[in-house]
């Protein structure tokens, strides 16, 4: 089946041809005709399925059908995404798909000067991709208005809830018109997400693409039983003895990810880490180095890795086993993309045996056990004697700049955004060891945004 059958306009078909997309992915086939009719959609799909094009392509056509003169701060379509990386990626995709259309695309997220975000929306935008905290900051500053919104997209809703964006989402939905089209995507559909979806959607069509079993089948999976303290030694030995092209290593915590980088460095293995405590440029540098092959090991937390499209991952390492079994499927799905065979290895400490059982129950397959290498004890002893590189200083907050709202005052919205989007300055100051909690499991704090609705942002 080709894209021409889906009812998309010529400018979009030309852009797709230019991007060398020859045929739609399953979610695109299911979603595009429905979204074109204006109907709400509930999509169960993860990154890598082509879901961005599934909601962006038909929306571009709907927005192009009627083009009002944009007022300052007006937004016609809002795409909410949990992380900066995902927001930036969606905006880049929207620009690619809209190459031959005259629709504007803006993107705003925390961690960049406020003035830059304000400029993105100052003349009004057809499509705005945003993380929830920064969006609310701009609403509070009356820099943008959602009163004339036509299409609302919530992407990676499960991740947004995990990141504590529920209050922000509720506030945002109260600001948009009741008459709108809503597209709701989540990789998983637990009860809490279903309830959220029910609240925001009206008679939605449902589409679902679960990771194909065949994908998982194509991945060679093993698990090795090892003490937690010796996992990095095992990782180092594996990386040094196996033909690893590009390994994505999942760590439960941000602190753990940094520690792995330091220990690998001591063993002469270059690696990088991406997680919520890294600044945006640091994360971008690490991902770029991994993509170019400058480093062959990237340590990531689930949240940081989410939404980033990294081609050519030969190995996925579950350094820590995830608490949520579906996450294991998502992680290993990072390898074996585009028809390639992948290798997934997992390290299971005695404490994680329960997690392993849950994973095997979910995937309905027993993961083969790979024994520790014969010379592991000696290697682990030698590894212990290596002196890890000193702790890097945490990313310094840059001094406030003129025109930067942070220099004036900080709102609850901004605090949440900074924590969730990765700067974590306030949190670090507050507890001194921000990195030990699994990323995304934040300490509950009362919602401290402005009470009530600021005037000028009334719900329609």
Positions that interact with ligand AMP (CB under 6 A): 21, 24-25, 28, 47-53, 309
Closest distance between ligand AMP and the C-beta of residue 51, in Å? 5
Encoding tokens for residue 402?
A: 């003129």
DSSP code string of 145-178: B-TT--EEEE-SHHHHHHTT-HHHHHHHHHHS-S
End-to-end CA distance of the chain: 41
The CB-of-116 to ligand AMP minimum distance in angstroms stands at 25
**Rounded-to-integer distance, Cα 334 and Cα 366, Å:** 20
Min separation Cβ 26 and ligand AMP, Å:
10
Checking phi first, is residue 100 left (phi over 0); if not, alpha (psi -120 to 50) or beta?
alpha
Is the CB of 185 or the CB of 200 nearer to ligand AMP?
A: 185
For residue 46, the minimal CB distance to ligand AMP (Å) is 7
Q: Which is nearer to ligand AMP, 24 or 333 (CB)?
A: 24
Indicate the residue among 34 and 47 with the shorter CB distance to ligand AMP. 47
Q: Are 238 and 251 in contact (CB under 8 A)?
A: no
CB of 320 to ligand AMP, least distance (A): 25
Q: What angle do CA 56, 172, 47 make, to 5 degrees?
A: 35
Backbone angles phi, psi at 297, to 5 degrees: -130, 125
Of 148 and 309, the one with the shorter C-beta distance to ligand AMP is: 309
Least separation in angstroms between CB 16 and ligand AMP: 7
What angle do the packed helices 26-36 and 51-65 form, to 10 degrees?
A: 20
Q: Nearest distance from residue 24's CB to ligand AMP, in Å?
A: 5
Residue (29 or 416) nearer to ligand AMP, CB: 29
DSSP notation for 181-200: EEEEEES---HHHHHHHHHH
| Cβ pair 92, 377 in contact under 8 A | no
Q: Measured from the CB atom, is 1 or 374 closer to ligand AMP? A: 1
Distance between CA atoms of residues 45 and 23, nearest Å? 18
Nearer to ligand AMP by C-beta: 266 or 310?
Answer: 310
Secondary structure of residue 448 in the 3-state scheme: coil
């Amino acid at each position: 089946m080709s894209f021409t059958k889906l009812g998309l306009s010529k400018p979009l078909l030309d852009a797709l041809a230019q991007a060398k997309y020859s045929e739609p992915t399953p979610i695109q086939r299911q979603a595009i005709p429905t979204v074109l009719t204006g109907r709400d959609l509930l999509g169960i799909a993860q990154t890598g399925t082509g879901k961005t094009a599934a909601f962006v392509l038909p929306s571009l056509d709907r927005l192009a059908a009627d083009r009002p003169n944009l007022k300052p701060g007006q937004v016609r379509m809002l795409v909410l995404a949990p992380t900066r990386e995902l927001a930036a990626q969606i905006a880049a995709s929207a620009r690619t798909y809209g190459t031959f259309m005259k629709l504007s695309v803006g993107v705003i997220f925390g961690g960049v000067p406020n003035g830059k975000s304000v400029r993105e929306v100052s003349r009004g935008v057809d499509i705005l991709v945003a993380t929830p905290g920064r969006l609310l900051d701009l609403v509070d500053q009356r820099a943008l208005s959602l009163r004339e919104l036509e299409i609302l997209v919530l992407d990676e809703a499960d991740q947004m809830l995990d990141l504590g964006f529920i209050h922000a989402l509720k506030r945002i939905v109260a600001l948009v018109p009741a008459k709108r089209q809503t597209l709701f995507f989540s990789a998983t559909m637990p009860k809490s997400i279903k309830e959220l979806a029910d609240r925001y959607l009206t008679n939605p069509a449902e589409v679902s693409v679960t990771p194909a079993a065949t994908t998982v089948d194509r991945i060679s999976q093993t698990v090795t039983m090892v003490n937690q303290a010796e996992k990095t030694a095992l990782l180092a030995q594996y990386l040094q003895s196996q033909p690893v092209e590009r390994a994505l290593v999942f760590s439960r915590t941000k602190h753990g990810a940094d520690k792995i980088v330091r220990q690998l460095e001591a063993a002469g293995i270059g690696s990088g880490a991406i997680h919520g405590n890294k600044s945006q440029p640091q994360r971008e540098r690490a991902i770029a180095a991994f993509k170019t092959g400058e480093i062959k090991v990237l340590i990531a937390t689930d949240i940081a890795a989410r939404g980033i499209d990294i081609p050519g991952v030969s190995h996925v390492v579950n350094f820590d086993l995830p608490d949520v079994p579906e996450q294991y499927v998502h992680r290993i799905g990072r390898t074996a993309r585009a028809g390639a065979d992948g290798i997934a290895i997992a390290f299971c400490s005695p404490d994680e045996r329960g997690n392993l059982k849950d994973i095997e129950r979910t995937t309905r397959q027993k993961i083969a056990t790979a024994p520790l290498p014969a010379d592991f004890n000696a290697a682990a002893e030698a590894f212990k004697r290596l002196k890890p590189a000193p702790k890097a200083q945490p990313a310094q907050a840059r001094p406030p700049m003129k025109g930067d709202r942070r220099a004036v005052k900080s709102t609850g919205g901004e605090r949440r955004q900074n924590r969730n989007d990765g700067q974590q300055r306030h949190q670090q100051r507050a507890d001194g060891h921000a990195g030990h909690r699994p990323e995304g499991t934040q300490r509950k704090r009362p919602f401290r945004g402005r009470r009530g609705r600021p005037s000028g942002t009334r719900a329609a």
